[in-house]
A and B are shown apart, each in its own frame.
Chain A
């Protein structure tokens, strides 16, 4: 009974963790592609700007970035933001941070595709946009799946960092309950939750990989 009670208490946190996870992926996966375009721009200033942005995002703690996103608007611009901004800041911070990692993964995927593919498309008269969407992107997706899976699994565990903005994701709750009950059980349950979550992620990503295994 007590265990069921514990799960019920943690459920809200699990929902919040899942929500943060899904929203982060929804925003960061496409955003990463835009950042990758900026990073690969032939226009030097743009390329350097994105290189700098990526360096900052990868080179500083996510926790710190979340604080900057949340408190920055007030301290830098004097804008006072409503209470609901807390949640927006969490999602924004996570999405921007993960977009930087995805961008570099995408870039490596795009650059690993043989020049001949682009040249063949060019000779056949494909426009630049057609070449990217029809020829480069599908092959890039296949190549980047394993490193993207890595990031997605890291994201599942990183969601616990949202506690710095007092977002009650699951781990925050588990710690509170563990303290209140002076028991390690909630933390153990939290560990199992992450493990199962990631097992599901791994299975799904493996399926996706297999669905693209029809060509080399």
Chain B
């Protein structure tokens, strides 16, 4: 079963058509990387999937249930209650967006307790276990401003995981980090991939995308130009535009 399915998604901002008829689906346990130049629509696609932007037209499904479909005029119509769909996914932002006034532990616990109404004791035990797994157990009482960028991003990954999502989205998770700190974040994502977490990763880290993904999608100009297994897209590139992009990257 598809965890996520998006069909014929279109989105424009004013005169600018950012997404032109994009269809993509993600299976359970699959790791999909989306690569492409700036302005290709990668982030907008992710923002549509996570309900931060409304599609102009197209369908959105989670776990076989329709969150949005086209009405008679071909515009996206969202179902009234999107709450349960929000519980399906987590999103890791480029800029972490941790809550600065909460401790690390409170950042992890607050949503499960106050949104999912789960018992605090149980949530705390899980949160601490996740922090231990990340080697951050001694940071539970620290505030985000006391952590390095890499630590903050790992905490924000844990925050998303604490909601037990079916699928986890990453929006350029290492773009705001020093090159030195990207490694620790990529390692965590790799570990999640090994545990068969369903993930969609927008990234500029080509080597990482190649190593971790089951499928790579190359986007440009609001369309999917090419997609396939990493060895196909990187090793046996079909489209001229993809070749050009990858060439620029290697330089």
A interface secondary structure, majority: helix
Stretch at the interface among B9-17, B94-102, B220-228: B94-102
> Could you say which residues of chain B place their CB within 8 Å of the CB of A206?
none
Q: Does B52 contact A (CB under 8 A)?
A: yes
**Provided the pairs A116-B95, A139-B100, A142-B101 are in contact, do residues A215 and B90 lie with their beta carbons within 8 angstroms?**
no
**Provided the pairs A125-B163, A126-B111 are in contact, do residues A119 and B93 lie with their beta carbons within 8 angstroms?**
yes
> Could you say which residues of chain B place their CB within 8 Å of the CB of A125?
83, 86-87, 111, 115-116, 163
In the assembled complex, the CB of B97 is this many whole angstroms from the nearest CB of chain A, namely: 4
> Could you say which residues of chain A place their CB within 8 Å of the CB of B100?
139, 215-216
Contact partner of B97 among A117, A138, A139, A215, CB < 8 A?
A117
Q: Does A44 contact B (CB under 8 A)?
A: no
In the assembled complex, the CB of B166 is this many whole angstroms from the nearest CB of chain A, namely: 14
**Provided the pairs A130-B115, A134-B110 are in contact, do residues A139 and B90 lie with their beta carbons within 8 angstroms?**
no
Cα–Cα distance between A120 and B86 once the two chains are bound (Å): 12
> Could you say which residues of chain A place their CB within 8 Å of the CB of B144?
215
Cα–Cα distance between A124 and B90 once the two chains are bound (Å): 7
B101, A123: Cβ atoms closer than 8 Å: no
Q: Does B145 contact A (CB under 8 A)?
A: yes
Contact partner of A123 among B50, B95, B99, B114, CB < 8 A?
B50
Contact partner of B91 among A114, A123, A134, A139, CB < 8 A?
A123
Cα–Cα distance between A126 and B114 once the two chains are bound (Å): 8
Cα–Cα distance between A215 and B115 once the two chains are bound (Å): 24
> Could you say which residues of chain A place their CB within 8 Å of the CB of B208?
none
Which residues of B in the span 39-61 have a Cβ within 8 Å of any Cβ on A?
50-52
Which residues of A in the span 116-154 have a Cβ within 8 Å of any Cβ on B?
116-117, 119-126, 130, 134-135, 138-139, 142
Q: Does B143 contact A (CB under 8 A)?
A: yes
A120, B52: Cβ atoms closer than 8 Å: no
> Could you say which residues of chain B place their CB within 8 Å of the CB of A216?
100, 145
Contact partner of B115 among A126, A138, A139, CB < 8 A?
A126
Cα–Cα distance between A121 and B51 once the two chains are bound (Å): 12
> Could you say which residues of chain A place their CB within 8 Å of the CB of B143?
214-215
B97, A119: Cβ atoms closer than 8 Å: yes
A123, B52: Cβ atoms closer than 8 Å: yes
Cα–Cα distance between A4 and B186 once the two chains are bound (Å): 75
> Could you say which residues of chain A place their CB within 8 Å of the CB of B98?
120
Considering only CB atoms, which chain A residue lies closest to B159 in the complex?
Answer: A124
Using a Cβ–Cβ cut-off of 8 Å, how many residues does chain B contribute to the interface with A?
A: 26
Which residues of B in the span 70-114 have a Cβ within 8 Å of any Cβ on A?
83, 86-87, 89-91, 93, 95, 97-101, 110-111, 114
> Could you say which residues of chain B place their CB within 8 Å of the CB of A117?
97, 99
Interface core residue of B51, B90, B100, B145 (most chain A CB under 10 Å):
B100
> Could you say which residues of chain B place their CB within 8 Å of the CB of A114?
95, 97
> Could you say which residues of chain A place their CB within 8 Å of the CB of B101?
138-139, 142, 215
What is the 8 Å Cβ interface bit string for chain A, positions 185-216, against chain B (1 contact, 0 not)?
A: 00000000000000000000000000000111
Considering only CB atoms, which chain A residue lies closest to B47 in the complex?
Answer: A119
In the assembled complex, the CB of A136 is this many whole angstroms from the nearest CB of chain B, namely: 10
Contact partner of A124 among B52, B115, B145, CB < 8 A?
B115
Interface core residue of B90, B101, B111 (most chain A CB under 10 Å):
B101
Cα–Cα distance between A120 and B116 once the two chains are bound (Å): 16
Considering only CB atoms, which chain B residue lies closest to A115 in the complex?
Answer: B97
> Could you say which residues of chain B place their CB within 8 Å of the CB of A135?
99
B97, A120: Cβ atoms closer than 8 Å: yes
Cα–Cα distance between A2 and B143 once the two chains are bound (Å): 57
Cα–Cα distance between A114 and B90 once the two chains are bound (Å): 19
**Provided the pairs A116-B95, A214-B143 are in contact, do residues A123 and B90 lie with their beta carbons within 8 angstroms?**
yes
Interface core residue of B50, B52, B99 (most chain A CB under 10 Å):
B99
Instruction: For the complex of A and B, list the 5 residue pairs with the smallest distance between their C-beta atoms, beginning with the closest.
Output: A120-B97, A116-B97, A124-B111, A125-B115, A216-B145
Jot down 7 A-B pairs with beta carbons below 8 A, ordered by A.
A114-B95, A114-B97, A116-B95, A119-B97, A124-B111, A139-B100, A215-B144
Known A124-B115, A125-B87, A130-B114; further 4 A-B contacts with Cβ < 8 A:
A119-B52, A126-B111, A134-B110, A215-B145
